[in-house]
């Protein structure tokens, strides 16, 4: 039996690099390379750069660390 064809479009999520948890979702072509762009982050009230990640990668992303755990993310 033949394998099922892959979709032409991939659901992507634009995640804020300010670590506020804000994101945009949209569709992009599967053949397009990964991108980064500037979008407004209403939680951070600024224009930090954001990166696009596929929804599959988003599900495997590690949780954010807090200062209580002794690991502070770089700014």
CATH code of the domain made up of 9-61: 2.20.28.120
Average of pLDDT values for 18-38?
82
pLDDT band at residue 56, thresholds of 50, 70 and 90? very low
For position 63, what pLDDT does the model report?
52
SS (H, E, C) 33-70: CCCEEECCECCCCECCEEEEEEHHHHHCCCCCCCHHHC
- Backbone φ, ψ for residue 55 (5° rounding): -60, -30
- Backbone φ, ψ for residue 68 (5° rounding): -65, -30
């Amino acid at each position: 039996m033949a394998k099922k064809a892959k979709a032409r479009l991939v659901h992507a999520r634009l995640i804020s690099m300010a670590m506020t948890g804000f994101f945009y979702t949209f569709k992009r072509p599967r053949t397009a390379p990964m991108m980064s762009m500037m979008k407004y982050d209403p939680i951070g009230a600024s224009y930090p750069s954001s990166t696009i990640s596929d929804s599959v990668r988003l599900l495997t992303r590690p949780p954010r660390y807090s200062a209580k755990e002794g690991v502070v993310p770089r700014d």
